């Protein structure tokens, strides 16, 4: 499958009064045409910063990309000026933000907000842009789009506002959609509708999606591949089946073990002890070592490389070294793996 995006050794830092925060530390991944890559991790792991770097939205001068490449369409996006990025942003790469109420301008009618990028990037006339905006509202499931195009954001429910945000992101038929926790602010029923909508739109438009979330249950339903992030690094990456059937990193075990399922309501969930490290002074070894019950001496001394599990599956843990002791996942994680295998956790249609 053709690669549409390649991220190589991406580093992002932020200058603060406490020192330089190394928010993203050597992230490498690729995105294939028509696939959904989910990036998963707890708050502060670097997920959103990574996607903002892809969009050229790292705030300057505090934010910097001291090292790394983001290759798209034959260009390294890290080398482009703001003016050059503005031609790509919205047209080729679009972003769906987490909170639709803060993403939309409350003083502008939604039709005008959708039309803006059509007029700027597609050079459409106002009449043509309005016609296309109505088509987009229909595509994302807004009823009576001809009437609702002249309404303001406060006249829409949370789920409908998120549909409008998706319509804006889709306006110029982007090659890549970056979805930064697009369902976090929504209730479970609306969340399911939005996820179904995104899968349906992807089939129709053949776009590629980078889906940011902390919810592995969402991942099982929408993604083709999963990258697990911790303390600014990708610690495990593989297909959905790799991550759910055969997870290798203790942090991934912790995420899986902390996820409730319908069949395990009475089970005690696993809590990952401790908290993430201070990234103004990242640890020398594996950043997860202080929270890892299986940590060895080498974990405190050296960062583990990405060990190959299979052609599609890699994990950065010393437990995969040939001299490491054999360690099985906790029983709660094994139950999640069995739940997934038996279909209790919906995989969704990723064909």
Burial class (CB in 10 A: 0-12, 13-18, 19+), 77: buried
Mean pLDDT of 182-211: 83
Q: Is 70 exceeded by the pLDDT of residue 123?
A: yes
Predicted TM-score (pTM) of this structure: 0.90
pLDDT score of 267: 61
In a domain, 278, yes or no: yes
Residue-level length of the chain: 351
Q: Mean pLDDT score of the chain, rounded to an integer? A: 89
Count of Cβ atoms closer than 10 Å to residue 217 Cβ: 13
In a domain, 161, yes or no: yes
Q: Which of 148, 171, 194 is the last residue of a domain?
A: 171
pLDDT score of 264: 54
Kindly report the backbone phi and psi dihedral angles of residue 94, in degrees, each rounded to the nearest multiple of 5, phi listed first: -120, 160
Q: Which of 127, 151, 171 is the last residue of a domain?
A: 171
Q: Is 50 exceeded by the pLDDT of residue 349?
A: no
Q: Which of 105-119, 184-198, 206-220 has the lowest mean pLDDT?
A: 184-198
Please state, in angstroms and rounded to a whole number, the distance separating the CA atoms of residues 185 and 83: 32
Contact 345, 243 (CB under 8 A): no
The tens digit of pLDDT for each residue in 145-194 reads 999 999 999 999 888 998 899 899 888 889 999 998 887 767 778 778 88
In a domain, 143, yes or no: yes
pLDDT score of 289: 96
Q: Are residues 245 and 338 in the same domain?
A: yes
In a domain, 332, yes or no: yes
The CA-based angle 154-157-162, given to 5 degrees, is 95
pLDDT band for position 262 (50/70/90)? low
Q: Which of 118, 142, 171 is the last residue of a domain?
A: 171
Question: In Å, what is the CA distance from 312 to each residue of 95, 238, 306?
Answer: 27, 5, 12
pLDDT band for position 350 (50/70/90)? very low
In a domain, 294, yes or no: yes
Kindly report the backbone phi and psi dihedral angles of residue 266, in degrees, each rounded to the nearest multiple of 5, phi listed first: -95, -5
In a domain, 293, yes or no: yes
Count of Cβ atoms closer than 10 Å to residue 168 Cβ: 26
pLDDT score of 191: 78
Please state, in angstroms and rounded to a whole number, the distance separating the CA atoms of residues 117 and 262: 42
pLDDT score of 261: 65
Closest to 45 (Cα-Cα) out of 284, 227, 197, 222: 227
Please state, in angstroms and rounded to a whole number, the distance separating the CA atoms of residues 122 and 105: 21
pLDDT band for position 344 (50/70/90)? very low
The tens digit of pLDDT for each residue in 30-51 reads 999 999 999 999 988 999 999 9
Q: Are residues 245 and 337 in the same domain?
A: yes
Please state, in angstroms and rounded to a whole number, the distance separating the CA atoms of residues 5 and 33: 9
Strand partners, 285: none
Look at the chain and report how many structural domains it folds into: 2
Q: Are residues 166 and 246 in the same domain?
A: no
In a domain, 140, yes or no: yes
Helix ranges (H only) for 171-212 are 188-205
Closest to 244 (Cα-Cα) out of 178, 308, 183, 313: 313
Contact 47, 212 (CB under 8 A): yes
Domain that holds residue 289: 241-342
The tens digit of pLDDT for each residue in 296-317 reads 999 999 999 999 999 999 999 9
In a domain, 63, yes or no: no
pLDDT score of 348: 43
103 or 85, which is more confident? 85
Tell me, rounded to whole angstroms, the distance of Cα 28 from its chain centroid.
Answer: 14
Q: Which helix (H) or strand (E) holds 101?
A: helix 100-103
Q: Is 90 exceeded by the pLDDT of residue 94?
A: yes
Q: Are residues 338 and 250 in the same domain?
A: yes
């Amino acid at each position: 499958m053709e690669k549409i995006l390649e991220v190589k050794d991406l580093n992002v830092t932020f200058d603060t009064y406490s020192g330089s925060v190394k928010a993203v530390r050597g992230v490498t991944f690729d995105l294939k045409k028509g696939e959904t890559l989910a990036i998963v991790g707890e708050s502060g792991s670097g997920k959103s910063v990574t996607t903002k770097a892809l969009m050229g939205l790292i705030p300057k001068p505090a934010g910097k990309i001291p090292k790394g490449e983001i290759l798209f369409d034959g260009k390294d996006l890290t080398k482009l000026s703001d003016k050059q990025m503005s031609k790509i942003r919205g047209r080729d790469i679009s972003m769906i933000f987490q909170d639709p109420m803060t993403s939309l301008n409350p003083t502008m009618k939604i039709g005008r907000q959708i039309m803006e990028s059509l007029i700027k990037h597609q050079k459409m006339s106002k009449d043509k842009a309005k016609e296309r905006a109505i088509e987009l509202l229909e595509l994302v499931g807004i009823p009576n789009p001809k009437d609702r195009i002249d309404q303001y954001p406060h006249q829409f429910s949370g789920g409908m506002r998120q549909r409008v945000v998706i319509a804006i992101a889709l306006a110029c038929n982007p090659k890549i959609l970056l979805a930064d926790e697009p369902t976090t602010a929504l209730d479970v029923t609306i969340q399911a509708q939005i996820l179904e909508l995104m899968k349906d739109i992807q089939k129709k438009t053949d776009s590629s999606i980078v889906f940011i979330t902390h919810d592995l249950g969402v991942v099982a339903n929408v993604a083709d591949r999963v990258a697990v992030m911790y303390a600014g690094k990708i610690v495990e990456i593989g297909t959905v089946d790799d991550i759910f059937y055969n997870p290798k990193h203790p942090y991934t075990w912790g995420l899986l073990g902390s996820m409730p399922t319908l069949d395990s309501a009475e089970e005690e969930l696993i809590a990952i002890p401790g908290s993430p490290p201070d990234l103004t002074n990242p640890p020398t070894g594996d950043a997860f070592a202080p929270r890892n019950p299986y940590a060895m001496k080498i974990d405190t001394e050296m960062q583990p490389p990405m060990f190959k599990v299979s052609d599609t599956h890699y994990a950065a843990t010393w437990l995969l070294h040939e001299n490491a002791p054999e360690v099985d996942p906790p029983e709660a994680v094994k139950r999640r793996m069995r739940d997934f295998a038996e279909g209790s956790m919906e995989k969704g249609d990723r064909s």
